[in-house]
């Protein structure tokens, strides 16, 4: 399962590096962290085109969930801009 190990290690490194860099920049918006995580997970999954179809389908399901979370953040921001109601 070497290809799975590589995928997990790269994703873990990316998420950790993002957390450290964004925290070092003094960013305090949780939605920004989450948005970057979602983009990283989706891009990495797309780059691993050679994963077996079952794994790819499973990872796509996780990415759909993450993307749904991202849409919730976007919707909350739109509501905040249009009506001034802070949801998150």
Q: Which chain residues interact with another protein by CB under 8 A?
A: 1-4, 7-8, 11-12, 15-16, 18-19, 22-23, 27-30, 33-34, 37, 41, 49-55, 58-59, 61-62, 65-66
Nearer to another protein, 19 or 78 (CB): 19
To the nearest whole angstrom, how small is the minimum distance from the Cβ of residue 3 to another protein? 6
- As given in the structure block, the two tokens for residue 27 are 């960013």
Q: How far apart, in whole angstroms, are the C-alpha atoms of residue 12 and residue 29?
A: 21
Nearer to another protein, 10 or 79 (CB): 10
CB 75 within 8 A of CB 18: no
Yes or no: say if 41 and 20 are a contact pair by the CB < 8 Å rule.
no
């Amino acid at each position: 399962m070497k290809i799975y190990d590589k995928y997990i290690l790269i994703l873990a490194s990316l998420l950790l590096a993002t957390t450290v860099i964004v925290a070092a920049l003094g960013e305090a918006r949780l939605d920004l962290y989450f948005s970057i995580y979602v983009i990283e997970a989706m891009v990495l999954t797309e780059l691993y085109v050679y994963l077996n179809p079952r794994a790819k389908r499973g990872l796509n399901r996780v990415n759909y969930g993450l993307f749904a979370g991202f849409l919730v953040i976007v919707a909350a921001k739109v509501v905040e801009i249009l009506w001034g109601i802070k949801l998150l």
